Chain A
């Protein structure tokens, strides 16, 4: 049973436009969510996170939105750049203290076309 779902395996966006990556979760105990970016043959790198007490967190071109009632979060990248092309993983855990390991979605491959 997959607790974190990224239903779009891939997404193509033109350079300069907005990229929206979606993530759904089923476990209502999750209260901390993260987005990671991963290039081939490399480990994931942390992008941005949000706790369940917030509905939005912004960091430069990256904004994460959380809709707790819908158990849905999204990552917005604007403007998208070719260097943003990578696989993006949504992750969640059940404790902001970090005592539980991350649960990952399957990832969405973003391609930003120049």
Chain B
């Protein structure tokens, strides 16, 4: 399957600082990437959908100014958690969608390994 990487895999930061998480599709071009967040023992919650070259679409309840998403190229999307607070501590996972297959509409989502953010 397609490979998606995330960097860093874990980060600890002080309250009030900003943290940038990178998501890369390594062997395919992803016109759409998704950012999810998972709290312990909870489901993956979609935060936003990121389309290359355009503004991200945020889910209800997700603050656009706090979670800045930039999808500058077909292989890279970044999520910046601005002025992070302890309640932002979570596991952030990105997903990239493969292009549609010729002769078939199916497009799969492949997930990165996730980034564990701890805000002190």
Contacts and interface: CB of A to CB of B under 8 A. Distances in A.
Contacts of B114: 41-43
A68 B100 CA distance: 26
Contacts of A44: 44, 93, 111
B50 to A, nearest CB: 11
B19 interface: no
B108 A46 contact: yes
Contact of A97 (B6, B36, B105): B105
Contact of A98 (B4, B6, B108, B111): B108
B107 A97 contact: yes
Contacts, number: 61
Q: A-side binding surface: helix, strand, loop or mixed?
A: loop
Nearest to A98: B107
Interface residues of A, number: 21
Interface residues of B, number: 29
B102 interface: no
B113 A43 contact: yes
A4 B43 CA distance: 10
27 contacts: A41-B91, A41-B114, A43-B4, A43-B93, A44-B93, A45-B1, A46-B1, A46-B110, A89-B43, A89-B44, A96-B105, A96-B106, A97-B100, A98-B97, A98-B106, A98-B107, A98-B109, A101-B49, A102-B34, A102-B46, A102-B95, A102-B109, A104-B36, A104-B44, A104-B45, A105-B43, A106-B42
Across chains A and B, which 9 residue pairs bring their CB atoms closest together, nearest first? A98-B107, A43-B111, A97-B105, A106-B43, A104-B44, A104-B43, A43-B113, A44-B111, A43-B112
